[in-house]
Amino acid sequence: MTTPRPRALVTGASRGIGAAIARALAPTHDVLLGGRDARSLEALARELPGSAGPWVADLADPEGLARATADINRLDVLVHNAAVAEPGTIADSSLDAWQRVFAVNLFSAAELTRLLLPSLRRSRGHVVLINAGSGLQIKSHRGPYAASKYALRALAEALQAEEGPNGVRVTSVHPGPTDTELQRSAAERAGRAYRPEQFLRPESVAAVVLNAIRTPADATVSRAVID
């Protein structure tokens, strides 16, 4: 009997950094492509080697998460990549806005991790959390986003402390500004010209993630900062 290829779930795989991570993993992993739009995920799955397929779920809906993970009983790599970056400062963010940001950027990562931990413990798997520069030091005026990324770093460190002894590895990845839709729309909102060459490439962030996952099992890349 042949050993199945390792399996990875990447949230927010429909575009940007998540799609680049899915492409980087696909030659060696069967990748579940997370997102809300089945058609765009199916189109990406057709381009990838191995048995990649859509994993459709709205991360802001906790009951949907339970349904969407019910059939996953084998998992080696979980990449929490999806996020929303609402532009508001603390002065102009309503409680609703805080809740929208935290629902996707933090609560879904905690809940998805909890639901998939039995599989990750069995495989002595790896959880990668795509954070940001603002999860380490706050420079921009986006209070809720930055607070969610600080909390995501706390989640990563707590998970490493709790699950490291069970063989689960945890990596917190902190990219600088990267050429994706998120930056393009921020520039548009601010009325700034957008120059992709001034940003990191999503493929470069994906290469760092792949290196962390490929690191031999006796070592853990606990934090990767990308400038």
Ligand X SMILES: NC(=O)c1ccc[n+]([C@@H]2O[C@H](COP(=O)([O-])OP(=O)(O)OC[C@H]3O[C@@H](n4cnc5c(N)ncnc54)[C@H](OP(=O)(O)O)[C@@H]3O)[C@@H](O)[C@H]2O)c1
- Which residues contact ligand X by CB under 6 A? 12, 14-18, 35-37, 58-60, 81-85, 104, 130, 132, 175, 177-178, 180-183
Please name the helix (run of DSSP H) or strand (run of DSSP E) that holds residue 47, with its range, or none: helix 38-47
Residue nearest to ligand X (CB): 16
Minimum distance of ligand X from residue 171's CB (angstroms) = 14
Minimum distance of ligand X from residue 190's CB (angstroms) = 14
Minimum distance of ligand X from residue 174's CB (angstroms) = 7
Task: Considering the complex, state which of residue 125 and residue 175 has its C-beta at the smaller distance from ligand X.
Answer: 175
Q: Which residues pair with 200 in a beta bridge?
A: 178
Minimum distance of ligand X from residue 32's CB (angstroms) = 13
Alpha carbons 35 and 49: distance in angstroms, whole number: 19
Q: Which long-range contacts (CB under 8 A, 24 or more apart) does 57-65 make?
A: 59/11, 59/34, 59/103, 59/104, 59/108, 59/112, 60/100, 60/103, 60/104, 60/108, 62/107, 62/108, 62/111, 65/108, 65/111, 65/112, 65/115
User: Do residues 54 and 33 make contact, with C-beta atoms less than 8 angstroms apart?
Assistant: yes
Which CA distances in Å does 217 have to 63, 167, 213, 220? Answer: 34, 9, 9, 7
Task: Considering the complex, state which of residue 35 and residue 125 has its C-beta at the smaller distance from ligand X.
Answer: 35
Task: Considering the complex, state which of residue 37 and residue 47 has its C-beta at the smaller distance from ligand X.
Answer: 37
Task: Considering the complex, state which of residue 12 and residue 144 has its C-beta at the smaller distance from ligand X.
Answer: 12
Strands 77-80 and 223-226: unpaired
DSSP state of 35: E
Task: Considering the complex, state which of residue 18 and residue 125 has its C-beta at the smaller distance from ligand X.
Answer: 18
Task: Considering the complex, state which of residue 108 and residue 123 has its C-beta at the smaller distance from ligand X.
Answer: 108
Minimum distance of ligand X from residue 65's CB (angstroms) = 10
Minimum distance of ligand X from residue 39's CB (angstroms) = 10
